[in-house]
Amino acid sequence: MGETEDEPLSLNLFQDLIKEWDTDHVQNNYDPTEILHKMADILEKETNVYMASDPDPFEERHPSRVDPECQLGLLLKAYFKKESLVQEVFNHYMKENYFTRAGLDQSSFNLNVSACRLVLDILPGLEIGVLNDTDGLISQLYKWVSGKLEPLCSYATGLLAVAMELNEVATEAEIREKNSKLVPEMLARLRELQDEAEKERDQARSDRFKRPFALFSKSPLKNPRRLSAEGEVDGVGKLSNGIVTINGGSGGKDQDGELVLGAGGKKETGGGGGCKKALERSGSGTLAPGWPNGIMSPPRSSTENSSSSWAEMELNVIGHFEIFPVSLQASQIFILRLLTPLAEYQDFLSLTQGSRILEVLERYINVRETRDARLAFEALKLLASLFCHKKFTLEWVATGGLSLLMQMPRPSMAATGSSLCLYYLACDDDTMEKICSLPPHTLQDLVKYCLWLLECSHETGRQYSIMFFGLAFPFRTILDIFDASDGLRKLYNTISTLSIISDRDDDRDSMSDDQEFMQRQSVRYTTQSLKKYVEAHLAIRVEEEISSDLTRAGGSPQPPHPSYKPYRLEQEQVTEHIFTLLELMNYRGRWEPIDRLIKLGGIQLLLQVIALSYDWTYAGRAETVKCGLDVLAVCSVIPRVQLALCEKFDLPDESAVGINIVLGTAEGEIVPDSPEVQRAALLVLCHLLCGPVVRPGCVKHTATPTPSKRRGGSDRVKSSDEVINKVWECVRANNGIMALLQLMQTKAPLTDADSIRALACRALVGLARSSTATQIMSKLPIFNNGVLNMLLREPVLQDKRAEHVKFQKHAHELIEKVSGPMSRKNYENNDITLDMLHRASVVANTRIRYNNKQLLQLMHEHLVLSGLNKTAEVLKNESDFVPLVDSSGGSVPPVYPVRSMISFHPSHLNRRMISSPTPSRPISTPSRQITSIPSSRPNHTATSRQQVTTPTRPLPTTNTNRSTTSTSIPIRVNRPTRTSVPTTPTPATRSAMKTMDASDQSTSKALEQVGDTKHEVSLGSIVSDFLSSQHALCRNPMTTCPEFDLLLPHKCPDQRSRRAAPLNFTSRYSKKSLFPPYGGPDGSKLDRKLVYSRFRPVKSFRAGGDDREENVFTSCAFSGDSQFLFAGTYMGDVKMYNLQSSEETTYQCHDSYVYHVQPSRDSKLVITSSSWRTPYSKLWSVGDFFDEKKQFKDEEYLEFSCNVQDKVVGTQSDAVATIYDLHTGQLSRTLKPTSSNGYSRNRATFDPTDDLILSDGVLWDYRAPRQIHKFDKLNQTLSGVFHPNGLEIISNTEVWDIRTFHLLRTVPQLDQCQIVFNSGGEVIFGLNLEQELEDETKFETAFKTFDASDYSLIATIETKKSVLGLCSSWDDQSLAVVEQGNGECVESAVRMYDVGRLRAEEEDQEDDGEDEDGGPDDDDSDGSSDGMGGGDDNDDEYGEDLSGSGSGTPSEDDLDDPDDEVDADEVEDLDDDDGGTIADDDDSWEDIEVEEEVGGD
């Protein structure tokens, strides 16, 4: 019979036996012993065949998962499918009274033997929990073991060993008591069997001299193997073709000893794979398929060695295991298996006293003596369990057992078992220290043996050796030998050759799930070891650099670290060491370990592992990615690595930039819900961004050059400032600012949010050293709207306050970087915005000057009111000034300087004349309302003199020697006034200057700039501090100020010019003849605010037909001649309405909803775009018919050019823009950026001159074509549009300057708004994008209008219906809005509005107001705020209200300026906070009689 005919033989025989049992077992007096033995014979035969393929000895998977075509696996599946047979064996055949219970006078011993033998054979496919679940089985096994009747005793021992692997069984009190008696017996029994086996080996050696060729007829266990007629070894059988091993393909070593590539083109990762491959030899005497072809296996050519070589080494390599009839080897293996799980428990130590168990195991492990790898493997497993106790590890090393572990046959099962023992030895630091103290040649042998395990062992052997190195790398002795033995290359090869990392999809797709899992585990363990490797070298290099630095500085070097002591570093120490190395290590210095890793391609490999792990779903993914990032963090010290992270590298499906992958990992895209990975990625960014600009060995350039673009420029050695500038630019180009700002505001996960915030803020501090990044960040809302202040107040989790303190520290550094240097670091008030910092900087640079005579006047007044009249008189005589009060306390007219005061206003004259406080008024109430008196003061001095009497003793006064920084009471100017009853003067007087409460002073103290905080307190410093605090309260402080007046409150003037156009429309209109054409500066802006805050609905267009409820409108556009209105619908139609006759025409254009319609200016062409089915966009000609001119299959969006509409620009997926010539209909340009931003709503568009194109945040020159600039991505949705002035780009809330590529400002009101300009380009209509909810799509029920000149909000127009789209007519007199009802009423319509007209009911209300007031109300503010007409003051760039004079209420300057011409009604309107909102009408606009409805029924 041929091989293909023999494959199903065992399975067929086994199935026939099952059928026979199924038929006969129901008979009375049935004895299943014989049939069970037959089943066991077949299973043992196929087990031997399976083991001949040399599977991993630690393999616990079902054989069919290792090899789907394995006969053993098929047999096990067939057996377990017969559930009745399985239950019968466990529940009945393993009972010692089976026949007795059946009424037969027969012993059940042979049946129990056959049942136990069968259960031992099916263990590879058995769920071992069944042993515990079977009632009474464990107790029965103990009984058989204690009975010592063979072979049942050995079989029961083997089954009991399997049961002890269950923790719940081994730890049960009754079982522990039994084991305490059984273990000593087993140890004694093991020694007896060992001695008996040694006698047999001695006898066999003596017989071998008598019969030197006996081994060809018998195996070493004297089990005859006869060749059958088909050439099959009897008792072994043939292997099926295509046995799947862990590492497919054959491999070996070339003449130089290097690993050669296998069939898959990859370097063999393990020589064990060679041990598993079947020989393809022909002719008589060939080995059965599946015999190994490893290092010690027979060569393919039989001319040099006969086939007897494998017969000699079979036991050395894979061993041989016969359990029937039970042999000495089997009995010993079963005992070793029983002791292995028990040896891990602490109780086992006391049971081994006096047994000298290590000596017993040494005899087993010496394979050269025993020539049995299987027995040695089981002994090594027991030894590894013993190594859980330090007592045995230290004793084993001390007795020289380490050398014995390295003398295993290579390859063999025993070698794989030794890898486990070495791993357990490395787990204990004390043991490793003792190992490091061994002779150097022993350590070299150890490292070389473990390196051999990396390449020439089973999968588990490779993994255990990798983990051994991970634990041994902290010991410098092992580390040095590893480097000297080229260990890094071999460690690198363990993952570089894996199929899971392959660039070819076929290699990855052909793997099974188990193979993929095992390779992922290999990647995991290797990255862990690489992390330990680089961290150990980091500690060594930092120690060397610090010692060198101390020596250069003339100090004593640090004592060297003992070579046998490990280098253990915590994460904070690693970070500190990296920054230390960045500061001390020479920029061009060599670091051999990292240089070797770079040369091998380790940086790219680690990035590839991180990127590919996105698709991996297993428990170790987070640890794998984290370890890879930790390795990159250490390597980032080297400039070559920093540059490599800025370059693109190829992935299987795409190419990516290294920093982009790190940023994505920090955002949680690679491994979701893993804060450890996020922190590791942020630490990499911190090391890249926060390193020193000028490193040792480099000279900073006077002007930082841009990275060289010449050929080879990226490979040459750059200066450190060039490198870090390239890193900054790369982080910006990959949207690092947006990513880090989002992480700085994260609130999840709750337990790690504070640490993530601190690291993200630290990275931003480093990035803020880039002038470009600083300019962008200075305009972002988070620094101006108080969000950062809110984050600084409290931690996310109170238990993480230490992390929050770090965040506060880095946040203050970031604010300082963005706003400019500040001399004061300890802020008493954390509520600081960028505008406040700017004002504080102005105040700090303002020179404080005041009139000394005014100070003497105040001192004189204070002395008089304190009753020190003589002192006051002496001061007056010596200083020669006009007193504010005479000696009796009466006031005299104040004298003001002749100079022009910048803060002077006529109303200030009244503020100096205040009423005198009553005696009962306490000094602690300086903030009460001040009462003014008329400016005319007849007989005021004489009256005052009659009210004041001379005090008999001095009264308590305020201690003026205290600094204002420690008290909340400001300096007061006290003036007594007349009262109806004469009173005794008291020091508790009212302040004539504006006072500050505690919170005001706290804010002012936080903002004041003090050059030297330790200056002595003096009266002059107190006055200067007070004047600075007053200056800080100004809304628009100026650096250059005249002398401050101590007698009057200070206020810098507002920015509004006196020549500015009046806010009142009537006044402004009357001034147009004087200041043409708009009545003064900003007149046109005020006119736009008036016009575009008023919209009147005049007409509605509704779809006709039966499907109008489903076919809702989605977009609209006016024709170029303003005669027609085009409206796209959800069903793909385009409806054209005649604006004069309201006639409706419908055209079927697409199969899905039309979200974009754009007619050309000459009304001859129309563009329509859809999003679901191709072609996405179409071009139509409009005339007598609506004809299709061209289809654009892949262009999801299409629009005309702006200046000359002779071309169209289309938007494809992946940020590709296409330009078509309308004259030829041909594609003229394809613009694909080198790196895209990935906006979800990317829309390619022309600038007003048609020279530039913006697509996905990338600016292109159409004429070249070439990529000009990539704008930083600060939002996820909108790519941006050109401003009609051609100088700015608006991307969501960001406004960019095309000339400088700087961020000009941010407009928070434009967040997630689709922008539509009117035809004149003067006004922006903002339409909020839809919000994708779980069960529906929600639209806003309003649209906004903005002034395009300064982006100030004009009005928010409430429609009470969802707004889906809008467009302005060409003459800007009409506005079409696509509206859809909410709730039950989902009616859709396109409503037309007249621009600049109030609604009908508003006009009626206005008329009523005119009748009552007797005149028209010409105020055009319409609820707009005061600052909208005053330059940039109301530029919604800042979220904090900075209006007024700083006191929270309007100052008299604000209300009494005669040049403003604003009446009281206007002032009242200016206080309206709605910003021009027309949203308070309760009547639906459909009910207005003047509105015309078109369409419908």
pLDDT value for 1029 = 85
H helix or E strand, kind and range, residue 1125: strand 1124-1129
Average pLDDT on 276-285 reads 32
Contact between 1212 and 1218 under an 8 Å Cβ cutoff? The reply is yes
Q: Which of 972-981, 1306-1315, 1416-1425 has the highest mean pLDDT?
A: 1306-1315
Average pLDDT on 518-544 reads 93
Rounded Cα gap, residues 334 and 42, in angstroms = 21
Question: Directed axis angle between helix 998-1007 and helix 1019-1032, to 10°?
Answer: 100
| Beta pairing class for 1337-1338 and 648-650 | unpaired
pLDDT value for 891 = 52
Confidence label for 589 from pLDDT (cuts 50, 70 and 90):
confident
Q: Is 531 exposed, middle or buried (0-12, 13-18, 19+ CB in 10 A)?
A: buried
What are phi and psi for residue 644, nearest 5 degrees?
Answer: -65, -35
What SS3 class is residue 650?
A: strand
pLDDT value for 1493 = 55
Rounded Cα gap, residues 1473 and 1180, in angstroms = 47
Task: Report how far apart, in Å, the C-alpha atoms of 999 and of each of 790, 908, 930, 994, 1004 are.
Answer: 17, 25, 20, 14, 9
Low-confidence winner among 360-374, 974-988, 1284-1298 (lowest mean pLDDT) = 974-988
Residue 920, pLDDT above cutoff 90: no
**Tokens representing residue 1220 in the block:** 């078509």
Q: Which residues pair with 1145 in a beta bridge?
A: 1136
Rounded Cα gap, residues 579 and 902, in angstroms = 52
pLDDT value for 467 = 95
Other Cβ atoms closer than 10 A to 953: 5
Residue 1283, pLDDT above cutoff 90: yes
Please give the DSSP secondary-structure letter assigned to residue 227.
Answer: B
Contact between 1474 and 1423 under an 8 Å Cβ cutoff? The reply is yes
| Beta pairing class for 1245-1246 and 1374-1380 | unpaired
Confidence label for 1334 from pLDDT (cuts 50, 70 and 90):
low
Contact between 1079 and 1458 under an 8 Å Cβ cutoff? The reply is no
Q: Mean pLDDT, the chain, as a whole number?
A: 77
H helix or E strand, kind and range, residue 137: helix 137-147
Contact between 885 and 976 under an 8 Å Cβ cutoff? The reply is yes
Helix%, strand%, coil% for the chain, nearest 5: 45, 10, 45
pLDDT value for 173 = 93
Rounded Cα gap, residues 1168 and 1160, in angstroms = 12
Contact between 363 and 403 under an 8 Å Cβ cutoff? The reply is no
Contact between 530 and 627 under an 8 Å Cβ cutoff? The reply is yes
The residue whose two tokens read 């003459």 is: 1371
Q: Would you call the peptide bond into 985 cis, given omega within 30 degrees of 0 as the criterion? A: no
pLDDT value for 882 = 84
Contact between 637 and 687 under an 8 Å Cβ cutoff? The reply is yes
Q: Which of 740-744, 815-819, 1485-1489 has the highest mean pLDDT?
A: 740-744
Nearest CA to 138 among 160, 106, 154?
160
Report residue 169 CA to chain centroid gap: 45
pLDDT tens column, 790-846? 888 888 888 888 999 999 999 999 988 887 665 444 444 445 566 777 778 888 888
Low-confidence winner among 255-259, 1047-1051, 1207-1211 (lowest mean pLDDT) = 255-259
pLDDT value for 892 = 52
pLDDT tens column, 658-677? 999 999 999 999 998 889 99
DSSP sequence for 1373-1398: SEEEEEEE--TT---EEEEEEEET--
pLDDT value for 211 = 62
pLDDT value for 948 = 36
Residue 296, pLDDT above cutoff 60: no
Residue 431, pLDDT above cutoff 70: yes
pLDDT tens column, 353-405? 878 899 999 999 998 888 888 999 999 999 999 999 999 999 999 999 999 99
List all residues 6 or more positions away from 150 whose beta carbon is below 8 Å from its beta carbon.
326, 331
How many C-alpha atoms does 851 have within 13 Å on its Cβ side?
Answer: 18
Residue 120, pLDDT above cutoff 90: yes
Rounded Cα gap, residues 416 and 927, in angstroms = 86
Confidence label for 958 from pLDDT (cuts 50, 70 and 90):
very low
Other Cβ atoms closer than 10 A to 421: 28
What SS3 class is residue 402?
A: helix
List all residues 6 or more positions away from 80 whose beta carbon is below 8 Å from its beta carbon.
86, 122, 125
- Selected residue with higher pLDDT from 821 and 1035: 1035
List all residues 6 or more positions away from 288 whose beta carbon is below 8 Å from its beta carbon.
49, 52, 232, 233, 236, 237, 238, 239
Helices (H) and strands (E) in the chain, counts: 55, 33
Average pLDDT on 185-190 reads 94
Rounded Cα gap, residues 1280 and 792, in angstroms = 32
The residue whose two tokens read 């585990």 is: 521
Task: Report how far apart, in Å, the C-alpha atoms of 1100 and of each of 119, 334, 357, 1134 are.
Answer: 85, 91, 97, 17
pLDDT value for 1390 = 92
Q: Is 878 exposed, middle or buried (0-12, 13-18, 19+ CB in 10 A)?
A: exposed
pLDDT value for 896 = 43
Q: Which residues pair with 1380 in a beta bridge?
A: 1362, 1388
